[in-house]
Amino acid sequence: MSHYFPPVSLQRSSPDRETCLEILCRYDVPSHIVAHSQRVAQVTVTLGGLLARSGLCLDLALAEAGALLHDIAKMISIERGGDHAAEGAEIVSSLGFPEIGEIVRRHVHLGREDDDFSRITEVVLVNYADKRVRHTEVVDLEDRFDDLVDRYGITAEKRRRIQLLRAQALRQEAHIFQRLRQDPSCLNRLNRFEPHIFLEEDTCLLQP
């Protein structure tokens, strides 16, 4: 694997969509993981837009970049083992994007500091969006967690941990959607569009 990004000091702004895709390409992220990440970014931006419209202050460029880069180390961890969230966070931080690194680090487990979900942050947004996407399909949380149990619940302990995550995600979802008029299932309407399509307007979600 060749890395063309020189070590840099702190970058001032979030990389745009094109730059994120370039980074994924340079880290040899396979196309199916890129497509998954684009769908997670699409959910992130759409839901983030609805939340922003409800008055929440969110940096959507930061959240979008976090969503696009969240699985940058997934293939590395499949091939060599290890924690893809921690490894991905290190990669992204080393490129000069520590805030995005934090989103990547916490995209699987939020960590205890968010247990009360009193603040919906870019970290929370991407963590939730990732749990709504199975491969490239937007699904309900229950579907996604059933799939996780099928794929990763090989021991009782792993199944217990997935169930804890499921309960946390459902609380998180309730907290997010109590701010909105829409139901969580409105996001499933994004399946009408290709994962790489970014909707500048979220009006599609208002239509049944």
Tell me which residues touch Fe ion (CB under 5 A): 71, 130
Q: Which is nearer to Fe ion, 102 or 130 (CB)?
A: 130
- Exposed e or buried b for every residue in 38-72, given b needs 16+ CB within 10 A? bbbbbbbbbbbbbbeeeebebbbbbbbbbbbbbbb
135: CB partners within 8 A, 6+ apart: 32, 35, 36
CB of 101 to Fe ion, least distance (A): 16
> Which residue's C-beta sits nearest to Fe ion?
130
Q: Which is nearer to Fe ion, 106 or 208 (CB)?
A: 106
Cα–Cα dist 16/82, whole Å: 28
| Beta strand residue intervals within 48-191, DSSP E | 133-134, 137-138
- Beta-bridged to residue 76, according to DSSP, are none
Q: Which is nearer to Fe ion, 71 or 114 (CB)?
A: 71
Length of the chain: 208
CB of 129 to Fe ion, least distance (A): 9
CB of 84 to Fe ion, least distance (A): 9
Q: Which is nearer to Fe ion, 71 or 202 (CB)?
A: 71
Q: Which is nearer to Fe ion, 139 or 208 (CB)?
A: 139
- The secondary structure of residue 132, as a DSSP letter, is T
CB of 133 to Fe ion, least distance (A): 7
CB of 104 to Fe ion, least distance (A): 10
